[in-house]
Amino acid sequence: MSRPGRLAIGVLGAGRVGAVLGAALRRAGHDIVGATGVSEESRDRIDALLSGVPVVEPDVLVGQADLVLLTVPDDQIRPVAAGLASLGAWRAGQIVVHTSGRYGTEALADAIAAGALPLAIHPAMTFTGTSLDLERLSDAVFAVSAPAPLLPIAQALVVEMGGEPLVIDDASRPAYHAALVHGANHVVTAVTQASAQLARIGVEEPGRVLGPLVHASVEGALTDAPGAVASLTGPVVRGDAGTIAAHLAALADQPETLHAYRAMARATADLALSGGRIGPAAYADIIATLGVD
């Protein structure tokens, strides 16, 4: 017998995020009544994480569920919600949740027009799409956006999954998501470029060289956030324009890395100047050395 407050949940899009969140909600006692999955990878995830849950068509799933996890790529949220609305699938009082960081509840406009209750819940973590993610949810912050009367529902769902809810206004979602992408994805890009540069000069295990430095730098920046000027190191905060010039020459045959180096060095110089780590003369010298792309 179901416990009071348990929901019939449908996972519309059993990708890495949907299957894991569905499994987390199932672990919390909710009933996963169905999932959609077209690719072999999605069906394998359903078997692994949502064992026994039937694979059904989207309109059938929405018809069975009290809460629909609409875990599709960002650009598909509006079209899928609209398509289901055209079929009359949504119903008043039904909860629909998307997990995009970029969008607030406005992406669910067609479901809202049919009386559905919209929630935007974004876990600020990466997903492997395996059971390993279930334990990592306990360390994750989830951005939640919803009309004020529905915020307690969004927050309760996050807590049930083991996460910590953080309320973000709909209008602030793009800025929130940009911060996460810049602070996480772009770090991966920088480390990848640095690793490739070390490999080019014959370093066999770039990760061993970069690892301690990168970990210490990121941990220092997180500790000092949002200012982070105390953790800045390197030629910019030393005012060492000659070293920067040597770096630019060494990267001349790697245009993508050179472009990224210049952009981040300028941003670092701005941060160092505003935080008092370098003076105006050193700043001007560094900017002149960096030149124009």
Same domain as 150, residue 46: yes
Distance between CA atoms of residues 2 and 8, nearest Å: 10
Tell me, yes or no, whether 115 and 14 share the same domain: yes
Domain boundary among 168, 190, 212: 168
pLDDT truncated to tens, each residue of the chain (293 aa)? 345 569 999 999 999 999 999 999 999 999 999 999 989 999 999 999 999 999 999 999 999 999 999 999 999 999 999 999 999 999 999 999 999 999 999 999 999 999 999 999 999 999 999 999 999 999 899 999 999 999 999 999 999 999 999 999 999 999 999 999 999 999 999 999 999 999 999 999 999 999 999 999 888 888 877 766 888 889 999 999 999 999 999 999 999 999 999 999 999 999 999 999 999 999 999 999 999 87
Asked if the structure places residue 2 within a domain, the reply is no
pTM over 0.85: yes
Count of Cβ atoms closer than 10 Å to residue 157 Cβ: 26
Residues 163 and 181 in one domain: no
Alpha-carbon distances, residue 261 vs 195, 266, 293 (angstroms): 14, 9, 11
List the one residue out of 260, 280, 215 whose CA is nearest residue 272: 280
Q: Note whether 136 and 163 are within 8 A (CB).
A: no
Which are the contacts of 149, defined by CB distance < 8 A and separation ≥ 6? Answer: none
Predicted confidence at residue 3, as pLDDT, reads 57
Q: Which residue has the tokens 């324009």?
A: 241
**Residue 197 and residue 139 in one domain:** no
Q: What is the pLDDT of residue 229?
A: 80
CATH code of residue 55: 3.40.50.720
Q: Per-residue pLDDT tens for 154-191?
A: 999 999 999 999 999 999 999 999 999 999 999 999 99
C-alpha atoms less than 13 angstroms from C-alpha of 229 in its C-beta half-sphere: 14
What single string gives the DSSP state of each residue in 3-72? PTT--EEEEES-SHHHHHHHHHHHHTT-EEEEEE--SHHHHHHHHHHSTTPPB--HHHHHHH-SEEEE-S
Q: What is the pLDDT of residue 67?
A: 98
The predicted structure's pLDDT at residue 1: 39
| 72 contacts 80 by C-beta, under 8 angstroms | yes
Same domain, 116 and 200: no
Packed helices 280-290 and 255-274: angle between N→C axes, nearest 10 degrees: 170
Q: What's phi and psi for 141, nearest 5 deg?
A: -95, 140
139 & 248 share domain: no
Parent domain of 57: 8-168
Whether residue 38 lies inside any domain: the answer is: yes
Could you tell me if 34 and 139 lie in one domain? yes
Q: How big is the chain, counted in residues?
A: 293
CA distance 63 to 88: 10
Same structural domain for residues 184 and 164?
no
Write the CA distances from 163 to 19, 140, 156, integer angstroms.
16, 5, 10
Angle between helices 186-200 and 255-274 (to 10 degrees): 120
Domain-embedded: residue 261: yes
Cα 106 to chain centroid, rounded? 19
**Contact (Cβ atoms closer than 8 angstroms) between residue 244 and residue 290:** yes
First-last CA distance in the chain: 66
Q: Where are the alpha helices (DSSP H) in the chain?
A: 16-27, 40-49, 58-64, 74-86, 109-113, 132-136, 151-160, 173-180, 186-200, 206-224, 235-238, 241-250, 255-274, 280-290
